[in-house]
Structure 1
Amino acid sequence: MVERVRRALRGDQGEATVELVIATPLLLLALLAIIQFALWSHATHVAQAAASQALAAARTQDGTTSSGHAAGQRLLDELAAGPLRDPSLAVSRGAAAVSVSVRGEAAIVLPGVHLPVHAEASGEIERFVPDTAP
């Protein structure tokens, strides 16, 4: 009986090694995918912050597209070096409204995965309207 059990258990030798060889790359791939998503999310937040900063500078009563562009670019220079690659900032100011667009690409962790990043902000131009006395 003991010999029979030994023969049955011999067929399982090396099974744990095979399972480990299969599971380890899948686990590492899942971990890299989580890191890639986190970098994309962070890059999106950086782009949104830059768009918001540019909008705040451009929509003031005396603001210009160049002041908005400078404010947004300053924030991109400070924050976007790691998570956001090749950022581009566009500011347009009309008679009553300002719109800002930031585009780029998230840093790459997984080869072949290119995740675009896009953020927009828009708002009305601030105007001073004096009170009219009755």
Structure 2
Amino acid sequence: MTGLVHQALRYRSEDEFLYATPEFVSDGLDAGDAVLAVVAVPNLALNVAFAGSGHWILCPYDTRTLPEAVVHGVARAHPELVHERGSAYTDPAVFSTECDAHRPDRLPAGPDGSPFSRGRSATVRPALTAYARRLGLPEQRT
């Protein structure tokens, strides 16, 4: 078990996505870890919630359709970028402070009983999706 591997894949074509994804999945499974592909979730929370849990998490981002600010933020929220050199990774506490300047005063409490642990990965996505929907996030964004 490796602890946590959390990478962003910024891709510009379907071929680029299809080239990188199987390699990531294979490497994670070969390490004996659980592998997740996660889209549009709070990535800073993943760094904390899954720390030391034996997961490999890949977050794909289609740079053809995302605003430049989001593409830049992706690099700051992920410790590693697939097939890219260098890192703009920012400590989660620092990045969260910056993001907090743009959030509502208070968010509703999230659901309890959805632990982030090996063997329970499948329960996390529905819990986060339900929470996001209660906050008014459109279905296509969950």
State TM-score, norm by structure 1. 0.27
Kindly name which structure, 1 or 2, has the bigger radius of gyration based on alpha carbons. Answer: 1
For normalisation by structure 2, the TM-score amounts to: 0.26
Q: Which has the higher contact order (CA 8 A, sep 6+)?
A: 2
| Structure whose residues are more often strand by fraction | 1
